Structure 1
Amino acid sequence: MQILLTLSSSDPEIKWNTVRFGNFLLNAGEEVTIFLNGPSVDLTKGDCADYPIAEQAKLFTLSEGVLAA
């Protein structure tokens, strides 16, 4: 199944959880695209030890997930 997640928040926790959910879906065999809208376009802004957004985004793209803006 093809799944589209739309992310439009600048909150680091929400960005981190969205990408983690995308990774979960990819591991379940789904085709996943995350559309970055508005303030979420700078996806790694807010990356920190509590919310390692960059690490999750790297895993997402290496697992053939698609990031679109």
Structure 2
Amino acid sequence: MKTTLMVCNAEPEVVWNAFRMGNLMLEQMDDVTLFLNGPSVRYAAMDSERFPLVELAKIFTLSEGVLLA
């Protein structure tokens, strides 16, 4: 299944959940594109111990997910 997730939010938890969902779908062998728009493009600046966005983004792209920002 091909899926596109679109995120346009400045809340780290929202972006974190999008990456988590994308990674879960990639584990199920789905084709996933994650489109970050607006304030969510700055996901690396939102990275924290509670919401490790950079780590999740790395896993997402290494798992052949497509990240558009």
**TM-score normalized with structure 1 length:** 0.95
Unaligned runs of 5+ in 2: none
TM-score, normalization by structure 2: 0.95
Q: Quick check: 1:16–1:51 contact (8 Å CA) kept in 2? A: yes
Structure-2 residue corresponding to 1:20: 20
Considering fraction of residues, name the structure with more helix. 2
Report the CA distance between 1:45 and its aligned residue: 1.8
Query: What is the count of residue pairs matched by the alignment?
Result: 69
Q: Report what 1:29 is aligned to.
A: 29
Post-superposition, which runs of at least 4 consecutive aligned residues in structure 1 deviate over 3 A? none
Structure 1: gaps of 5 or more residues: none
Percent same amino acid at aligned positions? 48
8 Å contact 1:16–1:52 — kept in the other structure? yes
State the distance in 1 between where 2:41 and 2:49 align.
20
The 3-state SS of whatever aligns with 2:35 is strand
